[in-house]
Amino acid sequence: MLDIRSIALLHLGRGMLALLGATLVAGCASKDDLRRAAEEVSDVFRVEYEHILKERGTRVYARRGDDAVYRVRTAALQLGMRVESYDLDLGYVRFSAPAPQPLTLREWGEVADQDLPLMRRIVEKHVGWLLKWAVPFEPEGLDIVINVTVVPVSGGSEVTLSMRMREVKPPPTGMPRREYPPPTGVHKGLDKIWGAIDAAMEVRPRAS
């Protein structure tokens, strides 16, 4: 089993290879090719993202109003994320953290194992078989932003999540950014966020 140091070194190695490879892509593929590849990846990831949130993005808790919002905020802090906006009256919380949080490096590696082959199949159509291997799949320079709305319903509150990626630093390779997180990342992220919210609510959620 890999220890934390080994995981960090592996992650660094992947990042260096991705940087070198993406520089190769940027030099060999046209900007239009790269843009079209990024757009199609975003479109495919968006469809999966919307489907996942439709199925798993909402839960109902037997907690009312301010109490439910406060507990969502508590869950965000317990995940080690920073609360950017917090409004009891509107029933809204926004929190964020540098990607891949709330996932660990190990979990992000599992996401890459699952979703990178799909991304490469899409990219291959635009930059070719050889250059698809150089397309990076690293989280550096991005924040994961979680928006949470809390709406009163009969017997409690309905909590709905959405997830976005926000660029905080331009990629050194000049590669276009995709707009949506990878599908496996959405699943794993929701698992961790809902787990923290469930614990903070101290009650079992009901189906929405």
Residue whose tokens read 């968006």: 46
The number of domains in the chain is: 1
Q: Identify whether 120 is part of a domain.
A: yes
- CATH classification of the domain holding 111: 3.30.530.50
In a domain, 207, yes or no: no
Indicate the pTM of the whole model: 0.81
Distance (Å, whole) CA 34 – CA 132:
11
Q: Give the integer Cα–Cα distance in Å for 66 and 84.
A: 17
CA dihedral (77, 81, 87, 93) positive or negative: negative
Asked whether residue 175 is domain-assigned, the answer is yes
pLDDT tens per residue, range 7-26: 333 343 344 344 434 444 44
CA distance 102 to 79: 7
If you average pLDDT over every residue of the chain, what do you get? Answer: 84
Other CB atoms within a 10 A radius of the CB of residue 80 amount to: 11
Q: Is residue 206 part of a domain?
A: no
pLDDT exceeds cutoff 70 at 35: yes
> For residue 208, is it within any domain?
no
**pLDDT tens-digit map of 57-97:** 999 999 998 999 999 999 999 999 999 999 999 999 999 99
- Domain span including residue 30: 4-201
Residue 35 lies in a domain: yes
Q: Would 158 be classed as within a structural domain? A: yes
In a domain, 180, yes or no: yes
- The pLDDT tens digits for 97-149 are 999 999 999 999 999 999 999 988 988 888 887 777 777 677 888 999 999 99
What are the Cα distances from residue 20, in Å, to 82, 118, 139, 146?
A: 32, 21, 16, 31
